[in-house]
Structure 1
Amino acid sequence: MQLYKKILLALDLTEECAQLREKARMLAEANDAALYLAHVIEPLSFAYGGDVPIDLGVIQQQLDEHAHKSLASYADKLGYPITEQMVITGHIETEIHRIAEEREVDLILVGSHGRHGLALLLGSTANGILHGAKCDVLAVRIST
């Protein structure tokens, strides 16, 4: 019985996300699932507002190009066919939920740094993805 037909691997493209490769490949193989990779870039305007005296467009474009290259490299090392690779600009949790719904994903796989104390109270990206998802979410602990 196939438990998950479509798996979305949400990546932050840090060095630590390499720890998700084996888990994603094993889950996808065990379920003969379609595997989607997604990285969301938050717009620089989110961080800096609209009051920056420089053009953020060029920097945003460079971030986008770097993310596409990093995601392609990650996919090459995964050892499993990728159905779709996506680099999206927007709010991380919102975009991951949107992608999951549009592609009718059964499982979202995301790394979690296992924060404690104040960071836990304020919430994390993995926590935000978990609470708004309409499908299963597997948060894999990332060791630093």
Structure 2
Amino acid sequence: MSIYQKILVAIDLTEEAPQVLNKAVEVSKALGAQLILAHVVEPVGYAYGGDIPMDLTELQDQLDKAAKDQLSQYGDQYGVSKENQVVTVGRPESEIHRLSKEQDVDLVIVGSHGRKGFQLLLGSTANGVLHGTVCDVLAVRIH
């Protein structure tokens, strides 16, 4: 029996996502673990500070649909079934923490740019995931 049976890989849908996905697929195959693919869409209100008095529902719906479509393409490409593809809305760190508990995962895999100095003080999603997840976290270095 493998130490990791269920792995959550959280990606940001940028051109760097395949680097993280390739590593996650390698790990899941080597361990015979189930892979769950996740993306978190930040609420549109966060981008605008929530100070704009307008209805952003349609824009949020478009972003959600685009994310689901892109995640579905990655799922097809990397052999992750539809039921193991999750798009959710919220703060990435919080949602990854929630999903890891809800899905009862043993390992979370995220990408990391390996920032140093001042940039590190500002924090990163990988750092936020590490500090609050109840399971192990693997940060894949993005080149």
With normalisation by structure 2, the TM-score equals: 0.93
Identity %: 55
Contact 2:9 2:21 in 1 (8 A): no
Deviation of 1:80 after TM superposition, in Å, equals 5.2
Aligned to 1:37: 37
1:31 maps to a residue whose letter is L
Q: Tell me the secondary structure at the aligned position of residue 22 of structure 1.
A: helix
Tell me how far apart the structure 2 counterparts of residues 48 and 14 of structure 1 sit (CA, whole Å).
21
Contact 1:7 1:106 in 2 (8 A): yes
Deviation of 1:74 after TM superposition, in Å, equals 0.7
Q: Root-mean-square deviation (CA), in Å?
A: 1.4
Aligned to 2:56: 56
Tell me how far apart the structure 2 counterparts of residues 108 and 88 of structure 1 sit (CA, whole Å).
16
Q: 1:102-125 CA distances to partner (integer Å, 9 max, x unpaired)?
A: 111000000001112211011100
Aligned to 1:138: 138
Structure 1: gaps (5+ residues): none
Contact 2:36 2:80 in 1 (8 A): no
Structure 2: gaps (5+ residues): none
Aligned to 2:105: 105
Deviation of 1:4 after TM superposition, in Å, equals 0.5
Deviation of 1:49 after TM superposition, in Å, equals 2.8
Runs ≥4 in structure 1, deviation > 6 angstroms?
none
Tell me how far apart the structure 2 counterparts of residues 123 and 36 of structure 1 sit (CA, whole Å).
25
Q: Tell me the secondary structure at the aligned position of residue 96 of structure 2.
A: helix
Deviation of 1:21 after TM superposition, in Å, equals 2.2
Deviation of 1:83 after TM superposition, in Å, equals 5.1
Tell me how far apart the structure 1 counterparts of residues 33 and 81 of structure 2 sit (CA, whole Å).
10
2:116 corresponds to 1:119: no
